[in-house]
Structure 1
Amino acid sequence: MYIEQGYKGKLGIWNAFILPVGFILFMTFNYFATKAFLDESGESTSEIMQTMIDQMGTLPFLAINLMVFVIGLIIVFIWVKFINGQSLTSFTTSRSRIDWKRIFTMFFIWAVFQGGMIFMTALNAPEDYVYNLQWDKFIPLVILSLLMFPFQTSFEEYLFRGQLLQGLGIATKSRAISWIVTSVLFGLMHAANPEVETLGPVVMVFYIGTGLLLGAMTLLDEGLELALGFHAANNITAALLMTSTWTAIQTDSVFIDMSEPTFAWTDTLSIFIGYPILLIILGKIYNWKNWKEKLFGRVLDRKEFFEKEGINDPQSTPEF
């Protein structure tokens, strides 16, 4: 019962919305401000990013962008601990302790799969990819990626699949509403990425679909561990192995994609077919049961939850 862990905060669940809503408003303002600037300057997001990279260097540019998420994750943890009064464990999982093995297992599974797909893609179409491995640049990239990308991905997971999923679930008493709304918002958060500008709105299918996958993982496994591992593996592997001049993440990766940017509906097969297969595999590994109830069922109210857990309600104040 991961969503119900939100009841363990010492204040009403209204505080679960403050940071996510604030972040969404900030991203919305940033999106329209950036769009207005681009319309006035006549430049694209990719061109501006390239200018900044040329001035600063690829690695410093990446580090500065990731530092924002380091600060963001620290703020989320401080808020949850001292304002909400919720433990990091109950914020992360419904288990008695955080299952680090789950995080690293999911990280390994997805990193190996995604890495294999990247190498296969590059080998099958060598004319579209430049081999770019430079050890003097790649080793610092590996160190930076392993140190800082987990902050970026964990910030997004704790904000959307943590605070917002728990808060919306308790507010609406619906797992489905909480799952779908947080997934859509997660996708829309990426609307300002240069991929959307280059490939068009169709690429939002990928972002929202990935949000649905991560939300399903969280609800079916009753914790954030798998989503944390998947998200970190996805971004780290991409940053190390393949980037291009028009993506949000640009690094001195092993391969540089030089192909013409396109996104066809056939590219969504990984979402509509691959993601469900991944969930089925994980379901077998972790023996998930009652899928329908976990994804679409009713969220217990406060009294039901604490009675079922067999523990005393730490507060008697209203939820709102």
Structure 2
Amino acid sequence: METFLDQARKGKTSLIRYIIGIFIIYFFIYIVGAAVQFIVAMAFGSSVNLGTLNISSITPLAYFVVTMCPAICGIIGVFISVRYVHQRPFSTLITPFKNINVKPILYGFGFFFLLLVLSDVLLYGLNPSNIQFNGSNISQFLYFLPFILVLIPLQTTSEELTYRGYLMQGTGLLTRNFLVLALINGILFLLPHIVNPEISAGGILAMVYYVVVGFSLAFITLKSGTLELAIGMHAANNIYESAIIHPQASILQTPSLFTQAAIDPAYELISIAVIMIIFYLVTFQVKPEWKRC
């Protein structure tokens, strides 16, 4: 039976095509994405200075939507690269099967979301003063919520298609060692996030956090043989951070139900590692058919 990594061989796999494909993806993320940001900002009534490439007088909602634009544009870049540069079906980035299975996506979202809740319940027990309820922001939270629920899954799916899909299948042409592939993927996943405020707040431990997240999502994808679980998990993580408990030092500036005043990098790193291990062990015990290798 064909595996997730085998899907790359369905298309044209020369090095020059991967160079072109990667260029197209990041062109859509950073160049087309930036252009769309300015268009969206102007649509929201923000002041845009094209000479200095600066956006000012931007509302919180406009800022959130603008922040989502580059990653969402990346989906178009991935599609063009896979469909026209490598000349293979776009769905092969997600699954080796004929149809995409929604059940693993929903399971990944629900179970990972639950684990995040339990982790923050423990954090609250250890330091109640660090998590504050934003009772005065409920109306703004409800106003933001539809945008969060629509845009965040697009943003996270874009990253999954790029990193656990396109780049991991591409590196899978060089090696089939799952640990090596997952580690490479974790490092690649860190790179675009290295300018995030979470890195400035958490330092080296925050960098390791992103590597652990990327490694874990890659390893689970390789073991399950599809991208479906990772798509659900990543969406759960970012929706949870945007809508439920929002760290002050975060690139996602949204009116969440709770605010985490300070990030404890050590706790965040340990907790995400434990969450990923629990998710892996429980998932493939409950659904052993999802562990296809």
Q: Same fold (TM over 0.5)?
A: yes
Shift, 1:238, TM fit: 0.9
- Cα displacement (A) at 1:161: 0.8
Aligned-residue offset at 1:240? 0.1
**Which of the residues 228, 232, 242 maps onto 1:229?**
232
Q: Report the structure number with the largest CA radius of gyration.
A: 1
| Identity value in percent | 26
Counterpart of 1:64 in structure 2 is 66
Equivalent residue in structure 1 for 2:265, among 242, 263, 266 = 263
Aligned to 2:117: 115
Tell me, yes or no, if structure 1 residue 79 matches structure 2 residue 57: no
Pair 57,120 (structure 1): closer, same or farther in 2 beyond 3 Å = farther
Where in structure 2 are the equivalents of 1:7-156 lying within 5 Å? 7-10=9-12, 12=14, 14-20=16-22, 55-119=57-121, 121-122=123-124, 125-133=127-135, 134-156=137-159
One-letter identity of the residue aligned with 1:150: P
Residue 51 of structure 2: aligned partner: none
- The residue type equivalent to 1:95 in the other structure is F
Output the aligned Cα RMSD: 2.9
Shift of 1:155: 1.1
Equivalenced residue count is: 267
C-alpha deviation, 1:177, in angstroms:
3.1
Q: Closer, same or farther in 2 for the Cα pair 1:139/1:17, shift >3 Å?
A: farther
Check whether the contact 2:28–2:77 (CA below 8 A) recurs between aligned residues: no
Instruction: Find the aligned partners of 1:78 and 1:281 in 2 and give their Cα distance.
Output: 37
SS of the aligned residue for 2:132 comes to strand
Give the direction of change, closer, same or farther, for the CA distance of 1:96–1:56 in structure 2 (3 Å limit): same
Aligned residue identity for 1:235? N
Q: Secondary structure at the match of 1:251?
A: coil
Give the TM-score of the pair, scaled to structure 1: 0.74
CA displacement at 1:4 relative to structure 2: 0.7
Q: Give the 3-state SS of the residue equivalent to 1:215 in structure 2.
A: helix
Q: Which amino acid aligns with 2:113?
A: A
* Equivalent-residue separation in structure 2 for 1:290 and 1:140 (angstroms): 40
Matched residue type, 1:278: F
1:14 to partner: Cα distance: 4.5
SS of 2:280's equivalent in the other structure is helix
Question: Contact 1:205 / 1:268 at 8 angstroms: preserved in 2?
Answer: yes
Normalization by structure 2: what TM-score? 0.80
Q: Which runs of 5+ in 1 are unaligned?
A: 29-51, 295-320
Please state how far the C-alpha of 1:202 moved relative to its aligned partner. Answer: 1.7
Which structure has more RCO (C-alpha within 8 Å, separation ≥ 6)? Answer: 1
Q: Post-superposition shift, 1:120?
A: 5.2
CA contact 1:129–1:255 (8 Å) conserved in 2: yes
CA deviation after TM superposition for structure 1 residue 234, in Å: 0.4
Q: 1:226 Cα shift?
A: 0.3
| One of 164, 169, 172 as aligned partner of 1:169 | 172
1:256-290 deviation per Cα after TM superposition (whole angstroms, max 9, x unaligned): 2224x4423x5432244332222111111231698
Question: How far 1:158 sits from its partner (Å)?
Answer: 0.7
Aligned with 1:56: secondary structure? coil
Out of 188-197 and 281-290, give the one that drifted further: 281-290
1:60-100: CA deviation from partner (whole Å, max 9, x where unpaired): 11110101211111221232223322212222112221111
Quote the offset at 1:16 in angstroms: 3.7
**Structure 2 alignment gaps of length 5 or more:** 31-53
In the alignment, the residues of structure 2 paired with residue 23 and residue 201 of structure 1 have an alpha-carbon distance, to the nearest angstrom, of: 28
Task: Find the aligned partners of 1:179 and 1:113 in 2 and give their Cα distance.
Answer: 22
Contact 2:245 / 2:256 at 8 angstroms: preserved in 1? yes
Q: Secondary structure at the match of 1:59?
A: helix
Quote the Cα distance in structure 2 between the aligned partners of 1:190 and 1:239.
Answer: 16
- Superposition pairs of residues 161-200 of structure 1, within 5 angstroms: 161-200=164-203
Taking the aligned partners of 1:165 and 1:226, their CA distance within structure 2 comes to 15
